[in-house]
Amino acid sequence: MSRVCQITGKNVMSGNNVSHSNKKTKRKFYPNILNKKFYLPEEDRWITLKVSANGLRTIHKVGLKVALDKAVLKGYLAKY
């Protein structure tokens, strides 16, 4: 299961753990991904998406249909 938001395209980033002695070791920063079901009233059906917390805010602001169309345009989502 890939950790990529289907609305915003957020994915895993890499960086460093920095100790008190300033020694650096590699680590990963994971996005806050949730499996969420949404109701699409235009098509009268439910869809399941892997969405980040920021993606939920985007859906709440602009609406589900607009957010899905933008995600398809940007290539984050093949189809819904």
Question: pLDDT tens digits for 23-64?
Answer: 999 999 999 999 999 999 999 999 999 999 999 999 999 999
State which amino acid sits at residue 66: V
pLDDT score for 16: 98
Q: Taking 90 as the threshold, does the pLDDT of residue 80 lie above it?
A: no
The total of structural domains in the chain comes to 1
For residue 35, give the CATH number of its domain: 2.30.170.40
Q: Measured between alpha carbons, how far is 41 from 76 in angstroms, rounded to an integer? A: 22
**DSSP letter string, 1-54:** -----TTT----EEEEEE-TT--EEEEEE---EEEEEEEETTTTEEEEEEEEHH
Report DSSP state, residue 76: S
Q: Note whether residue 67 is domain-resident.
A: yes
Q: Radius of gyration over alpha carbons of the chain, in Å?
A: 16
Q: Note whether residue 4 is domain-resident.
A: no
Q: Taking 70 as the threshold, does the pLDDT of residue 1 lie above it?
A: no
Q: Note whether residue 80 is domain-resident.
A: no
Q: Note whether residue 3 is domain-resident.
A: no
The parent domain of residue 43 ranges over: 13-74
Q: Note whether residue 17 is domain-resident.
A: yes
pTM of the model: 0.85
